[in-house]
Every structure is written in C-alpha cells, then in structure tokens.
Amino acid sequence: MRAKPNRTGLIAALDTPDAVRAEAWARAVAPHVGLVKVGLELFCAAGPAVVSRIAAQRPVFLDLKFHDIPNTVAGAVRSVCATRPAMLTLHGGGGGAMIEAARRAAEDSLGEARPAILAVTVLTSFTAAGLAETGVAGGPVQQVLRLARLALEAGADGLVCSPHEISRLRDAFGQAPLLVVPGVRPAGSDKGDQARVATPEDAAAAGADWLVVGRPITAAPDPAAAAAAIAGSLPG
C-alpha cells in the first residue's frame, strides 16, 4: 500500500455510467494524475470488471462509501478487494466496529497489498444548515473532528474531508492520516452541488494529500488539458 504521496497529488473522478468513456478518460488523464476514482455511478452501471480493467492501467480509488453492519461491510470489502483498489471508502458514521471489520477484511484479503481504508466524514455537499437537518448540531468542523477520531482509532488509514477542515485535522492528528479532499474547484469553475469548496492551490497549502476533481476535468472540452492545468497549479 503506497497511498501517501510526497506532495499533494491529483485524483480524477470518472463519474459516468459509460465504461468505454470512463476508460478513455482514464487513459487521457493518466499522465497528470496519481489515481483515478471509480464511484457509485460507474460501479453500479458497469460493475467490478471495469474497476479491474482500469486498475490494470492506473491505481484506482474505489469510492463506494460503504455503510452497513460490520459483517456486511467486511464481506463487501472482501468482494471488492478482488478488483485490487489502492484505496476504498466507508462512512465514518458507520461506527468503529464497522471500520475495524473493514480493515481486518482488507488485511485478510490482500495482506500488505491491501487498499488504504478511508473514512468519509461529512460530505462536501453539506452546509451547516443541511447537516443540522440530519440532527447533527455544532457544524461540519466539529462533526468531522468527532468522526475522524473515531475512524482513526478504529484503524482507518485516512479521511475524506472538505478543504475547510484540512488544517483543523492536521492540528488534531498530525501528518500521518491520509487526507483525501473533494470539493475542489479551480477559480471560476462551477461549484455544482458542492458546498464546502476551495481552489486546488488553497487545498494543497492547507495540507491535503490528494485532491479529488471530477466535473472540472470530465466536463471540460479537453479533459487531459484540464487535468494537466490543475496538476500544474499544485506546489511541486
């Protein structure tokens, strides 16, 4: 498992139901990104086979955000380990026992070659008001810190957070946890449904290990050029 880069790296999110298009994007952006991300849209349409094919060319961040009872999540982790992802996600809100079970399942399946286990804290599409609607008072930063502690103590290798929480997480937990950060928008790009966003330069300066960027790359007229421009804006 070699998921901690020496400097902030770029992950392109391949969000499409079309496996042929996803594989073409993966080939196009490959020179500019460290990993490509397969999420629910592509996985639900094209299944594990597309993950295995893409993983043969480029390390895959498998972002399926598991959230279920520990036994079920452990089984899902064992199943997806067959596709050889470099990193996978589960929801921190699933609790410590679920995260421990996921880590054990990954170790049993692939040993040293297991994927990094990342806990999603508070989705980057949430505002404080939206989070309060779900019954979580106190705002995103507090909830991110609470779930981060739980997840890291249960054996997670890292966290998915927004750019707004990176520095607070580094202050609380240091440099060791892998911080994977969506909600990244080059200046002037459309935010879409993302709420807690920052530019690639600001997220890198705050201490992100990996930036996850989807639509600003895949909706661009030239996805390879868009990925190259974002990667080029990161400190070297």
Ligand X SMILES: O=c1ccn([C@@H]2O[C@H](COP(=O)(O)O)[C@@H](O)[C@H]2O)c(=O)[nH]1
Between 160 and 204, name the residue whose CB sits nearer to ligand X.
160
Q: How far apart are the first and last CA of the chain?
A: 23
Active site residue 202: no
Among residues 68, 108, 190, 209, the one annotated as catalytic is 68
Q: Is 15 assigned to a binding site?
A: yes
What is the crossing angle of helices 140-153 and 166-173, to 10°? 40
Active site residue 65: yes
Which strand (E) or helix (H) includes residue 108? helix 96-110
Active site residue 108: no
Tokens of 166: 């990176």
Q: Is 71 assigned to a binding site?
A: yes
Looking at the DSSP bridge assignments, the partners of residue 213 are 12
Between 160 and 179, name the residue whose CB sits nearer to ligand X.
160
Question: What residues have CB less than 8 Å from 145, skipping those under 6 apart?
Answer: 165, 168, 169, 172
Q: Which of 99, 11, 113 is nearest to 62 (CA)?
A: 11
Tokens of 142: 């507090």
Q: Which of 101, 102, 105, 141 is nearest to 121 (CA)?
A: 141
Q: Would you give the DSSP letter of residue 71?
A: H
Between 120 and 156, name the residue whose CB sits nearer to ligand X.
120
Nearest distance, CB of residue 58 and ligand X, angstroms: 16
Q: Is 64 assigned to a binding site?
A: yes
Residues making contact with ligand X (CB under 6 A): 13, 15, 39, 63, 120, 123-124, 160, 182-183, 192, 194, 212-215
Between 123 and 231, name the residue whose CB sits nearer to ligand X.
123
Q: Is 72 assigned to a binding site?
A: yes
Known binding-site positions for substrate: 15, 37, 63-72, 124, 185, 194, 214-215
List residues with catalytic annotation. Answer: 63, 65, 68
The annotation places the binding site at 15, 37, 63-72, 124, 185, 194, 214-215
